[in-house]
Chain A
Amino acid sequence: EVQLVESGGGLVQPGRSLKLSCAASGFTFSNYYMAWVRQAPTKGLEWVASITNSGGSTYYRDSVKGRFTISRDNAKSTLYLQMDSLRSEDTATYYCTREGYGDYFDYWGQGVMVTVSS
């Protein structure tokens, strides 16, 4: 059974940093692209970043480019999202997702809440 378990969320002041982790199990992690998708309170879904299976290529939405870094450790089957210079508009539930053979999201974690507020 595929499982994605996020951790690392919480309350953080604007301008500070936070690092999210996602522990994956139930599949061969190193074979799949992975991604982070977020959802602001009462809002819709928003893709944040993707990473290839080797970690050799990464993709970001413009609003987080230069502030967020997606990475992975295939030996640990773990996905990360380093979030720097956080803004109030980054407040959201962040979902770890597995990408299927296209850039669709076939499995989702339970989500982790990030609140950026002073």
Chain B
Amino acid sequence: DIVMTQGALPNPVPSGESASITCQSSKSLLHSNGKTYLNWYLQRPGQSPQFLIYWMSTRASGVSDRFSGSGSGTDFTLKISRVEAEDVGVYYCQQDLEFPLTFGSGTKLEIK
């Protein structure tokens, strides 16, 4: 199974500052078709997860351009620019290169 490892944030993050969340995979998620099969989600307190980014860097419909994804085959970053109160929650990375589909353990974002 592909293991996804997420880093922690130096919480709380001051409002208006940027936050970068890291995720590492135990196997390259770069497919021969050129796509990198890494996705990001946000789970706000008490809510269902919501979809943010797919194929490492493509924002889902309706997602603010303050969210951006980048990385290589095994090391990934979700950057949140100008953090706001509504960004609070737990962020998860997930690989969909192969079954079983696996998630990182989550990174909590708190805002000051």
Instruction: Spell out A's residues near B (CB within 8 Å).
Output: 35, 37, 44-47, 50, 59, 61-62, 95, 100, 102-111
Do A106 and B60 form a contact, CB below 8 Å, given A95-B48, A95-B49, A100-B54? yes
Shortest distance between the CB of A115 and any CB in chain B (Å): 18
Question: Would you call A105 and B92 a contact (CB within 8 A)?
Answer: no
B interface, over-half SS: loop
Number of residue pairs A-B, CB distance < 8 angstroms: 61
Determine the chain A residues whose CB is within 8 A of the CB of B102 once the complex forms. 47
Determine the chain A residues whose CB is within 8 A of the CB of B76 once the complex forms. none
Question: Would you call A102 and B99 a contact (CB within 8 A)?
Answer: no
Question: Would you call B49 and A47 a contact (CB within 8 A)?
Answer: no
Do A110 and B54 form a contact, CB below 8 Å, given A45-B92, A47-B103, A104-B39? no
Question: Would you call A46 and B103 a contact (CB within 8 A)?
Answer: yes
22 contacts between A and B (CB under 8 A): A35-B101, A44-B90, A44-B105, A45-B41, A45-B43, A45-B49, A45-B106, A47-B101, A59-B99, A61-B100, A95-B48, A100-B51, A102-B96, A104-B54, A104-B94, A106-B51, A106-B54, A108-B50, A108-B51, A109-B48, A110-B48, A111-B48
Question: Would you call A102 and B49 a contact (CB within 8 A)?
Answer: no
Question: Would you call B104 and A103 a contact (CB within 8 A)?
Answer: no
Give the residues from 72 to 107 in chain B that come closer than 8 angstroms, CB to CB, to chain A. Answer: 90, 92, 94, 96, 99-106
